[in-house]
Amino acid sequence: MTNPVTTQHSGTIPAQPGPREAAESMDGVIPGAGPSGNPGARPTVKLREANPDDPPRYAPEWLQLREPADAAARAHDLLDPLRIRLANLPGKSGGVVIHDLGCGTGSMGRWLAPCLDGAQHWILHDRDPYLLHFAAVASPRSAADGSRVTVETRRGDVARLTADALHGASLVTASALLDVLTREEIDALAAACAGAGCPALLTLSVAGRVELTPSHPLDSEIAQAFNDHQRRDGLLGPDAVTAATEAFSEHGATVRLHPSPWRLGPEQAALTEQWLRGWVGAAVEQRPDLRARADAYLAERLAACAAGQLRVTVHHTDLLALNRPAGGAS
């Protein structure tokens, strides 16, 4: 086991174009603020243009920007049934082993580890060694009751997990991951968790619904184009929670769902600004005919955001799948 490094990395959010510049060109969209086009990829901001032969490298700024909103949105109502299941898992007297899939900079561990009692060992999975480094150095050191929390990292494609890779796992968790997987990858994830006999807590999957206040006539058209963009290349996007519910249920798991919306107001203006650019930019990429109207729409929305007059609810869903423990009763 590897002890967590306690030094906290900090990032600076880069200066971004103002409303007029963003409205003049969709080039102002920050890569990563919108959906990712690659299965298993994280919605992050690119650090630099890398050689195609190099592993992908991402900066943590986008993940840091969204982390407070993620923490506020995750469904606390799913924690009690999870705690009960973890407490009753056979052979876990020495603590629990938690696999965090597509961990990014480790925000899931920073939220969940202090909510659970007992010793914990976190195994952080991501394809990007740069993000794994950030996750390791910023991992929590203690559980809710003061028990020790340790961490190790594993680089790899989370879409290729097997039950053998999860052998000995007490819990599998992920955040904002399901919607960038295909149906086959979700089926494989459900099969791996069921084979390992461990529950899965999968948070912040997009639900395909967005509410902006005040409303605008173009809201629904942008939203539909964005949803269609998320479904490109076989990704499930807003259909992911339904697919995951079906997949885990077919393997005998009891599945619980709970809403986990982002509620963005004036206090979250920086996040709203980046989200707007990504949301509109993805819609225009999906439907280039929207560009002229979308430019004007984005300018109006960014101006309202800057003036503290815009509120946005981005709907997500959290999923808890309680699998039958391996070799034990459900």
Q: Which domains does the chain have, with CATH numbers?
A: 19-322 (3.40.50.150)
Q: How far apart are CA 300 and CA 118, in angstroms?
A: 50
Signed CA dihedral, 142, 143, 148, 153: sign only: negative
Structure confidence at residue 61 (pLDDT)? 83
Structure confidence at residue 182 (pLDDT)? 94
Structure confidence at residue 327 (pLDDT)? 59
Instruction: Encode pLDDT of 206-248 as tens digits.
Output: 999 999 999 999 999 999 999 999 999 999 999 999 999 999 9
- 124 in helix, strand or coil? strand
Evaluate if pTM is beyond 0.75: yes
Structure confidence at residue 144 (pLDDT)? 95
pLDDT tens by residue, the chain, 330 residues: 333 332 222 222 233 333 333 333 344 444 444 433 333 333 333 333 334 444 444 457 888 899 999 999 999 999 999 999 999 887 666 799 999 999 999 999 999 999 999 999 999 999 888 899 989 999 999 999 999 999 999 998 777 788 899 999 999 999 999 999 999 999 999 999 999 999 999 999 999 999 999 999 999 999 999 999 999 999 999 999 999 999 999 999 999 999 999 999 999 999 999 999 999 999 999 999 999 999 999 999 999 999 999 999 999 999 999 998 875 544
Look up residue 248 and give its two tokens.
Answer: 């885990």
Structure confidence at residue 59 (pLDDT)? 55
Q: What secondary structure does DSSP assign to 178-213, as a single string?
A: GGGSBHHHHHHHHHHHHHHT--EEEEEEEEEEEEEE
| 275: region left, alpha or beta (phi > 0 left; psi from -120 to 50 alpha) | alpha
